[in-house]
Amino acid sequence: MVILTLNCGSSSVKYQVYDWAAKNVMATGIVERVTLGGSVITHKPTGKAEYVEDHECPTHTVAIDLILRTLTNPEYGVIEDMGMIKVVGHRMVHGGMKFARSSLIDKEFLDTFRSLIDLAPLHNPPNLMGVEAAQAVLPNVPQCAIMDTAWHQTMPEASFLYAIPYDWYRTHNVRRYGFHGTSFLYNAKRASVLLGKDPFETNLIIAHVGNGSSINAVKNGRSFDTSMGMTPLEGLVMGTRSGDIDPGIIFHMMRSAGFSAADVEKKLNKESGVLGITEKWADRRDIANAVNQGSHIAQVAQEIEGYRIKKYIGAYCAALGRVDAIVFTAGVGEMDPDIRRLACSGLEGLGIVIDPEKNKLAKCRNAELEITGKGSRIRILVIPTDEELVMTEDSYALMTGSYDVHTNYRYYFQDPSYVNKVRETGLALDLAKKPWLKDLIVKAP
């Protein structure tokens, strides 16, 4: 069975094609600048050269049609025809309290999802556009929704309720929902494998650090608390999002600067975070380079981001009582030693010791690494996330009738012998250039 997964943003469509029988990624790619002009597709077929094409995509339907034509191209495509695609899985950001699990998409689902747009006005509309576009191009192919918020449905009331008028929750659904659920699910299951523990006897703190960042306390294999809230704006310092701030700042800026609600929403979502601090950089690689060149404000931004993660690690250590491992994942978590160092330094009293040399060397997206220092009671892992694999398996399970919530379902990547074939090939190339990585790789016991 060939499974296509789509992650639709307001101006982009990321995709992956997976051969379930062979358990192998056939291709990945992205169409950028959808609806904006100057659209371009970057297509990465496994075993073939990367293909890039400029192609205007005024709508998501045109973008998805471009993806399918690229996938079936005789030269750089990976499937013979569109009939090979048996199911499409969609990342859906905000399921509110309506969706606690992945689901087949039908009219009732879409009607319910539309009612949740106000909960995530920046994310749910493009998700919905992606579904409608895929249905237009592949009208006879089943479509599945994989909810970013579903993983966090196990949080207790003490974690998800805010100390605000209770009627806001009862009438307006104001509560903590949490996001990055597919990433946290994957990392929680893989960490338990690497630790040699039953997943439902494992306590973890998982830091998904990228342009969007959040941190998750996992208690006995279930989400217990998380930093993002009703929207993906709360919590950690991010590329362009503020994370936690005093709500009074909003009222102050509305009064003193004349900002509207829309102005504040834009400022906090798109002009804050490390970009807001530095007034120049959102990419952490640019910030790291600026730090090395002596930029004071870049160093401050880096320290603020690391310190916020450290505070959450400390809080979640207290909330969980016992922690088996801290996991860093996503683009920054996997590739930025400075952020990991700042997040873990000074936590020896909590039993957290990072190895400075291993941490510096741990930059690889094709292997699961360990950077635990000597004497640490809590292990520190770096696990490349794989949200697309969770989306793929959920879609397959929904199609075959074997799907269930993660507490009743065992993913195939939970097998200690699991191997990501594409990453295995990539790791061989990495080791040829960075032979020291072999000493950091952690294997299931």
For the question of residue 148 being annotated catalytic, the response is: yes
Q: Which of 81, 111, 148, 244 is catalytic?
A: 148
User: Residue type for 246, please?
Assistant: D
Q: For the purposes of burial, counting CB atoms within 10 Å of the CB of 258, is it exposed (0-12), middle (13-18) or buried (19 or more)?
A: exposed
Catalytic sites, residue numbers: 148
